Structure 1
Amino acid sequence: MNIQKVMVIGAGQMGSGIAQVCAQAGYEVKLNDREEKFFERGFQTISKNLSRNVEKGRMTEDDKQAVLNKISKSLSIDDANDVDLVIEAAVENMEIKQSIFKQLDAIAPAHAILATNTSSLPITEIAAATNRPEQVIGMHFMNPVPVMKLVEIIRGLATNDEVYAAIEEMTKKLSKVPVEVNDFPGFVANRVLMPMINEAIYTLYEGVATKEAIDDVMKMGMNHPMGPLQLADFIGLDTCLYIMEVLHEGFGDSKYRPCPLLRKYVKAGWLGKKTGRGFYIYE
């Protein structure tokens, strides 16, 4: 299975990062979003990332331009009509993802693989919206995509071996490390990470320590590069809450119950760094 043309759906933080690493690996990339302004914002993020690499001597200005030239603008899902792979990086919502995959199934060529960058939702359920569940797979990149090496590769119930092998090979071409994970809520990364973040929020909620103290304990005591509350702000508290709800519903276990303080912050619109305020205040 020869992958040459890739479409990335969603030009946000994750989608733009995925588009960048695909273009850097030599793939022709269509970066898709609903509106021109979202595409432009994503494209500018890629350009800034590459400029930093030029400044640090990791690539030349010509290399940067070559990568940017590999990325084309797409404002219609119909542009999936000639690609070999689609990587969906839209909002973490099952209804939205199933709607996108149903459309892609009708538009993308018969041979095309449909991948989702979901961080917690069942691949099998997303695949059920298509008539090609054997060609649907999970590719969970880590944030920030250009820096982080890991990609969780998740088979759905019907995903065939040829599709898995093609995605594993491509992941290596992106200079990433593929790790095979089974289709359970949260996979491995978020099943382990999010309850830790949620517990840190409970620790703050119950007055055990200040937010700074909680983060310092995990940074200096456990050698984490970033404290869990600061990390939650960077991920987005709405995303953290949504993943905890997926885990809670998927496993039916009270240990995954989202902390009331997390719910309160999300309802207040304090979503973290992207809104200027979460557990910390960002200028």
Structure 2
Amino acid sequence: MNQQMTEYINLINTRLQKAVNDTPLNTNLEESMRYSLDAGGKRLRPLLVLLTLHTLNEDVYQGVETALALEMIHTYSLIHDDLPAMDNDDYRRGKLTNHKVYGEWKAILAGDALLTKAFEIISTDSKLAPETKVQLLARLSQASGHRGMVGGQVLDMQSENADIDLETLQQIHRAKTGALLKFAVMAAVDIAQPTTEIAQALEAYSEHLGLMFQIKDDLLDVYGDQDKLGKAVGSDVTNHKSTYVSLLGKEGAEEKLQYEADSAYRNLEILQPQYDTSHLNEIIQLFIQRDH
């Protein structure tokens, strides 16, 4: 990552560390919430919010609270994904998963609390106009709910032990993985309010990013380094899930990954020369080259 990206990630990490304070209720719920928030990760979703604002020549601090909220939604989803009733993972990012440290019921509630905290953060953001906050809250609700991430997760689990086609697989991942990545870009669009042409190009870019991310995940689950991934490889095979690798093979999945990347680049060309898209171009490369 370049220096600008590193600065934004440091800002996100610093703000996340202060975002969940203890309450007078005298429980360790907040400790459980912070445990998963502090577990590391690439912070790609909140980073995308800030980089898109930067690209659109907007003050990135307008999007910081939204970026934090998005990372909380993502973290809650990981806590729940790791539960025995779902993916049943013992490790996440090289650390014991939340339920392995705090128990299942508290992990569930920590996820619930992070989900609701996300909406609190956006609704109380003093840097945004009321109408912008309403727009962001509506978009985040759709991206994270039954039309988006949660619905995609349900379809994914219902598809275990079943033969599904490529179209169904893409439908799963546009919702399960892609919806929050799309929100990251479109939240910046809601804040910056560019022209319709620019907004549509960024929306298409974000959709290709979402598919890229999942294709790479599928490749890493088979061919990745467990030490770098911070969790066991082969979980998709163990859970009898259809993936881009199982449907297309390694070479076919890599070709599909490159196709989505090329499509993302083409959409960014629409922003030029009015906007400098170098940071968003680098995100595409980051998605292709990541090893964890």
TM norm structure 2: 0.31
Where is the strand percentage greater, Structure 1 or Structure 2?
1
Where is the helix percentage greater, Structure 1 or Structure 2?
2
TM norm structure 1: 0.32
